[in-house]
Structure 1
Amino acid sequence: MAGIFIGLTTPRKLPNPARLVGKVIVLDIAFASEGGGRRNSFEHTTLRFIEKLGPRLVRWVDHHDSTFHRRFVDDERFVLATKAQHGACPEMISPQLVEAVGSVDTIVCHNDFDGLASAAKWLCGGHEPYPGCDADARAIDTRIGEPGDFGRRFDRALRARPRDADLGLAVLAHLATQLTHGAPWAIIDQAAHELSALEESARTLASGYRSLTDELVCVDVTARDSPYDRTLLLLLGQRRATMAAVIDGDTTTFAAPFDSGINFVECFGLSGGMPTLVSINRRKLAGALTTLGVGAAAALEVAEPPSARD
């Protein structure tokens, strides 16, 4: 990682291009969609970022669906796939791709395990940081199957502290050195231990799930009094029905099993995202619920903010 600037981010909060050094690659960053509102749209967020980087952007590798992929089909800088084609991003990175790009100055990647593993694989010349890392990333990003011990520890740590940039950089450094130093595990495992309390909160909140249709359950956790693990809460909902929705303030997240065949992106008329995991603004919730078969009156009642009920 020496000499390379690392930017950990999310699709809706891309860094200022002016602050990025030299030649830039972007890994595991989905094209933004209008699900989070106009200010988070592709044009306002992703396209603006691409245009401001200009020729300094040398590769963008991603595996999230987007109708805007077709704009870049003739631009070799963009290596784009759908979630169905590649369940995780690291498997898209090869020694041939890294060699073709050559030296880079900045890596911008998603701050989850999939993104960090992608960045580490790039830094390792297109080779896995450890045997089975690609499979771990796929298991974690699709929630199909179980990751190995290393992947499980990384995943739990990052879920416990999703906004901890120092932890993310520690994970990336450990991966990039192919786990050759034992010291980082103490930091990572301490963070992973903290997930237990968040999981307990999620289990408590899951008791509030209500059935909206035979295939959809929903819980509103806006009034919660403690943090929780959203991943587990959504998975617990999917044990009750194929689709689960978690409302938290102005954001609602819908999830379904990776192999369910459900495509929320298409159902909600979004330009892109993960077909089985999307977040939308609460203003669009009533319409989304009716699209999934919820009655109009029930959809309006669920979508109404708590403040409007007082």
Structure 2
Amino acid sequence: MASGPQANMRNNQAMKRHQVAVLALDGVVGLDLGTPAQVFGAARDGSNVRRYAVDTCTPTGGPVRSAARFTVLPDHGLELTEEADTVVVPGIHSGPPLTDGVLDPAVAAALVAAHERGARVVSICTGAFVLAAAGLLDDRPATTHWAHAERFRALFPRVKLDPDVLFIDDGDVLTSAGVAAGIDLCLHIVRRDHGSAVANRAARRCVVPPWREGGQAQYTEHPVPASGTTGTAPTREWALHRLGEPLTLGAMAAHARMSVRTFTRRFREETGASPARWLLQHRTDRARLLLETTDLGVDQVARQAGFGTAAALRQQFQAAIGVAPTAYRRTFRGHPPARNRV
């Protein structure tokens, strides 16, 4: 067994890991259940040290049946939520929260107690029904899978539901849309906790895009481009390598060999965002990464990220993140700033 200073350092780092409790209820969605362990488990620092410990619990500590007809056998009961720094509730495909808007009192009490002592509470997909049934979403902005929006509004009229976004970060309570949006939200949490470099490494391990903007539209009825047609993916890849250059809509459409109108329509179909919004988000993300990982001046960061001037970068940072670039860098070198909403 390893011993000595290095082993002690690793033990201390392990002790400091952020504890995530994943609360599985009957009817749990399999992908949602596995997402936190996969994404948070992939979040490691530059020394390959894991930043999170992820464990699964159920209301009784006993098995629950998943929506995919397999049984989940956990290691913990609700006591896990008493020590967790973050509690994640995956989506469910059945059960009283989804059908009647009610929740097992013991589960509701555990979630409320965790929130009241300062734990971050997160839902994926229809897990929002569970948080709402516990009263944790009253008078708050939240989202869930678009297909369940009508039912959600009927059951929980006090919640400020926005079914058109991928996820919402309301500080200590975060909610996401369905399926892959849970991955986006978990990566956002990693980015919020540990910065872009750790989040990007986690995304690379999971073989997923490192960033999709939370305000991006859910893919509700977007058609798949017909086979053989030319999409916008090559142009998006081209643009990502030229973020520091002037990139007009006309130039991007010309690269794709489309009219501006056709390019804009196909771009929105494929990404859920307009070209301008997509470009602004990637430039902001580039600026964040440069501020976190380099000592470049704000003017240089602005130019390399494509904002042109420090003033333009400051304006975007203030609007998107709520702080100035210098304050972001200063704060991030200790702990990254929380974002109230994406």
TM-score, normalisation: structure 1:
0.30
More contact order relative to length (CA 8 Å, sep ≥ 6): 1
Q: Higher Cα Rg: structure 1 or 2? A: 2
TM-score, normalisation: structure 2:
0.28
